[in-house]
């Protein structure tokens, strides 16, 4: 009985991790050339810390305003998020409900226990800030409890935001 519970727990953890890890493309990017690495290091300090609450720059340099999100594609891309989140108001899972997230203060969903880092981030979830966060959550809110590695595809991030704005 104990062995079966252990196996079940391991399988559940594997499913959770797979659901949060996207398509794995963030781990398959080729290493930058030495010249590109030198340029990147010169442009940004190695330990620059998290971006300010009102800073919306992304690692990939893509601006949210340059994209048009597609609700249907966003609903499909959101499937990996459903392991932890729902868009139903007042319904928290492993993560908080994402209903009406645009314009909401980070760490403010009633009944969800946030990390101190998230609750004290000072972030208001604008579309642009959410776009930046979805790229690499740990960069924007270090020490967040969210274990999602990020969504490197800028268009998918824009699509998810379009869906979150209009999930019906």
Burial of 21 (0-12, 13-18, 19+ CB in 10 A): middle
pTM comes to 0.72
Mean of the pLDDT values across residues 108-123?
Answer: 96
Task: Give, as one character, the DSSP assignment of residue 124.
Answer: B
pLDDT at 47: 53
Mean of the pLDDT values across residues 45-74?
Answer: 90
- What's the rounded Cα separation, in Å, for the pair 32 and 38? 9
Mean of the pLDDT values across residues 31-52?
Answer: 54
| 95 closest CA partner among 87, 104, 85 | 85
Overall fold of domain 2-43+56-165: Cytochrome Bc1 Complex; Chain D, domain 2 (1.10.760)
Mean of the pLDDT values across residues 78-86?
Answer: 96
pLDDT at 1: 52
Domain ranges of the chain: 2-43+56-165
Mean of the pLDDT values across residues 57-65?
Answer: 96
pLDDT at 168: 86
pLDDT at 37: 41
Contact criterion met (CB below 8 Å) for 141 and 50: yes
């Amino acid at each position: 009985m104990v062995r079966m519970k252990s196996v079940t727990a391991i399988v559940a953890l594997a499913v959770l991790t797979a659901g949060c890890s996207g398509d794995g493309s963030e781990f398959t990017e080729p290493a930058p050339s030495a010249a590109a690495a030198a340029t990147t290091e010169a442009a940004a300090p190695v330990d620059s810390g998290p971006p300010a609450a009102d800073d919306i720059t992304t690692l990939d340099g893509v601006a949210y305003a340059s994209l048009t999100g597609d609700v249907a594609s966003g609903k499909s891309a959101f499937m990996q998020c459903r392991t932890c989140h729902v868009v139903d108001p007042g319904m928290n899972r492993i993560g908080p409900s994402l209903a009406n997230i645009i314009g909401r203060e980070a760490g403010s969903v009633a009944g969800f226990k946030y990390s101190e880092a998230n609750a004290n981030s000072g972030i208001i979830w604008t579309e642009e800030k959410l776009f930046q966060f979805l790229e690499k959550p740990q960069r924007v809110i270090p020490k967040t409890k969210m274990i999602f590695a990020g969504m490197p595809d800028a268009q998918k991030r824009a699509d998810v935001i379009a869906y979150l704005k209009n999930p019906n």
